Chain A
Amino acid sequence: MAFNVIGKTVMKSLFGKPATAMYPVIKNEFYPNTRGNIQVDMEKCIYCGICGRRCPAGAIEVSKPDKKWEIDRTRCIVCNFCVQVCPKNCLSTERHYTSPMTDKSNRISTFFGQTVQEDA
């Protein structure tokens, strides 16, 4: 009995597919539901600031006079709450995560009304 299990496991490990993927070559597929980066559609945003006030991590800052919407990607905990409370439904989650960064000055993404520009 025990030898059966051992034999089966050995055979599976020898000839089966590996349990892990060869990462850089084979990329992990995300599911449609995966929560990743928060994206904003500036065409629809009315700068009400609700997302910023309700964010549990305090990651979003909205300024009405400057028509500015800003997110600190390192603070965001990707809880999706802002997406759900936005009255205009202009926020969405992308399927991929924020890429790692070596320089903290890149952590803030700023979007301005109409013309979208990333603050690098």
Chain B
Amino acid sequence: MGERTIIPFGPQHPVLPEPLHLDLILEDEKVVGAVPSIGFVHRGLEKLVEKRDFHEMMYVIERVCGICSFIHGQGYVQTIEGIFDLEIPDRAKFLRTIWAELSRVHSHLLWLGLMADAYGFESLFMHCWRVREKILDIFEETTGGRVIFSVCKVGGVWKDIDNETLKKIVEVLNVVEQESKDLTNVFIKDFTVQKRTRGVGVLTYQEAIDVGAVGPTLRGSGVAMDLRKLGYAAYGELDFEPIVEKDGDCYARTLVRAREIYQSIDLIRQCVSKIPDGEIDVKVKGFPKGEYVSRLEQPRGQVVYYARANGTKYLERFRVRTPTFANIPALLKMLPGCDLADVPLLALTIDPCISCTER
């Protein structure tokens, strides 16, 4: 048995632009334990609801995260609509679904790029991001923003996408699908890449359930749980199955995300063929009173929104439980037994979003 050393990982580390800090306990090259700490970019969002009215808050909530910004906004308005017991028009539901799925495609492409970068495959990283750029262009064309869309509102959406543009989106996605095939093939079939990812950081089925992992991390361990199956927004009318892989290692998690890109593209195609005409919003009168919890599936996993309102224009209590927060215990389970050199890779496979975690 070697001597034990403690090596700090982060908060500033080349592979992670975000401030996650781990104290790694090493025995020679092997990690035997890790102690996480967060809190470097805390922003106190949950306090801010007492000062911003519930309509305005939507724009603040979107800024929880720069990647799943849309789904954060969607989760928030869904919660407030739940308190109001408001049924939004079908077209708005489909539009939200389309934007949410586009977010998933862009998030997963971004992640695949970062993953490639983590093991030093820089040209693959650039190609992933080149393909992702097309999705960002769609965002700018339809919502006006590339990162923060500001299109959700309590009671519907602000902007409509006309049918012409919807067709164009599908055409762009056909190209994206074709190009992603070449890219994901590298992740799936390349021998060298598999050497880095196969059998590394195994999270078993039982462990994944015990630590309460969410999203692709959970599905990579063989648990078929996808909250879109709850049927919020338009998902109830779409046909899909959660994507599951059995192995629970880095490779399985990569595979889940790669396959989810195609699933999302397929969901958008279904949306475009099924989207009904009609209104995109309903009028919201008065102030919310009551409480509500809503759960959504973000690219990184399950997000939980809770809000309590007391009939004034300010919410009384508000809480977000973001997917990365739930996945950190899973990361701690994966780390023991791996090599120091694999730590960045493992930290990446939970797709950490620390700014989400710290709200």
**In the bound complex, CA of A54 to CA of B195 (Å):** 54
Q: How large is the interface on B (under 10, 10 to 19, 20 to 34, 35 or more residues)?
A: 20 to 34
Contact string against B for A residues 82-106, beta-carbon threshold 8 Å, 1 for contact and 0 otherwise = 0010000000010000000000000
Choice from A2, A19, A31, A33 contacting B133 with Cβ under 8 Å: A19
- Of A40-48, A63-71, A72-80, A109-117, the one contacting chain B is A72-80
- Chain A residues 11 to 66 lying within 8 A of chain B, measured CB to CB, are 19, 30-31, 33-35, 54-56
Interface size on A, residues (CB 8 A): 20
Which B residues touch A93, using CB under 8 A? 144
**Is the beta-carbon distance between A19 and B130 smaller than 8 angstroms?**
yes
**Is the beta-carbon distance between A56 and B59 smaller than 8 angstroms?**
yes
Across the interface, name the chain A residue whose C-beta is closest to B48.
A56
**Is the beta-carbon distance between A56 and B144 smaller than 8 angstroms?**
no
**Is the beta-carbon distance between B185 and A5 smaller than 8 angstroms?**
yes
Number of inter-chain CB pairs below 8 Å: 52
**In the bound complex, CA of A56 to CA of B48 (Å):** 11
Residue B143 CB within 8 A of the other chain: yes
**In the bound complex, CA of A10 to CA of B232 (Å):** 44
**In the bound complex, CA of A8 to CA of B186 (Å):** 14
**In the bound complex, CA of A54 to CA of B150 (Å):** 15
Choice from A2, A8, A31, A35 contacting B150 with Cβ under 8 Å: A35
**In the bound complex, CA of A35 to CA of B148 (Å):** 10
**Is the beta-carbon distance between B144 and A81 smaller than 8 angstroms?**
no
- Chain B residues 52 to 75 lying within 8 A of chain A, measured CB to CB, are 52-53, 55-57, 59-60, 63
**Is the beta-carbon distance between A5 and B182 smaller than 8 angstroms?**
yes
**In the bound complex, CA of A38 to CA of B127 (Å):** 35
**Is the beta-carbon distance between A79 and B182 smaller than 8 angstroms?**
no
Residue B240 CB within 8 A of the other chain: no
Residue B159 CB within 8 A of the other chain: yes
**Is the beta-carbon distance between A33 and B150 smaller than 8 angstroms?**
no
**Is the beta-carbon distance between A33 and B185 smaller than 8 angstroms?**
no
**Is the beta-carbon distance between B59 and A79 smaller than 8 angstroms?**
yes
Which B residues touch A54, using CB under 8 A? 53, 55-56
Which B residues touch A80, using CB under 8 A? 144, 150, 158
**Is the beta-carbon distance between B158 and A33 smaller than 8 angstroms?**
no
Most buried by B among A30, A35, A54: A35
**In the bound complex, CA of A54 to CA of B153 (Å):** 14
Task: Take A33-B140, A34-B140 as given contacts and tell me if A81 and B185 are in contact as well, using a CB distance cutoff of 8 Å.
Answer: no
Task: Take A80-B150, A84-B158 as given contacts and tell me if A33 and B59 are in contact as well, using a CB distance cutoff of 8 Å.
Answer: no
**In the bound complex, CA of A101 to CA of B88 (Å):** 42
**Is the beta-carbon distance between B133 and A34 smaller than 8 angstroms?**
no
Which B residues touch A34, using CB under 8 A? 140, 144-145
Residue B142 CB within 8 A of the other chain: yes
**Is the beta-carbon distance between A31 and B56 smaller than 8 angstroms?**
no
Across the interface, name the chain A residue whose C-beta is closest to B138.
A31
**Is the beta-carbon distance between B141 and A56 smaller than 8 angstroms?**
no
Across the interface, name the chain A residue whose C-beta is closest to B153.
A84
**In the bound complex, CA of A22 to CA of B59 (Å):** 33
Which B residues touch A33, using CB under 8 A? 140-144, 159
Across the interface, name the chain A residue whose C-beta is closest to B185.
A5
Choice from B60, B130, B159 contacting A56 with Cβ under 8 Å: B60
Contact string against A for B residues 166-199, beta-carbon threshold 8 Å, 1 for contact and 0 otherwise = 0000000000000000100110011000000000
**In the bound complex, CA of A35 to CA of B139 (Å):** 12
**Can you give 20 A-B contacts (C-beta < 8 A)?**
A5-B182, A8-B182, A19-B130, A19-B133, A30-B140, A31-B141, A31-B144, A33-B143, A34-B140, A35-B145, A35-B150, A54-B55, A54-B56, A56-B52, A56-B56, A77-B148, A78-B150, A79-B148, A81-B55, A81-B150
Q: Tell me the A residues contacting B by CB distance below 8 Å.
A: 2, 5, 8-9, 19, 30-31, 33-35, 54-56, 77-81, 84, 93
A-B pairs, top 9 by smallest CB distance, nearest first, are: A35-B144, A79-B59, A56-B56, A33-B144, A31-B141, A56-B59, A79-B150, A19-B130, A34-B144
User: Besides the contacts A2-B189, A31-B140, what 6 more A-B pairs have beta carbons closer than 8 Å?
Assistant: A5-B182, A5-B185, A30-B140, A56-B57, A56-B59, A56-B60
Q: Tell me the B residues contacting A by CB distance below 8 Å.
A: 52-53, 55-57, 59-60, 63, 127, 130, 133, 140-145, 148, 150, 158-159, 182, 185-186, 189-190
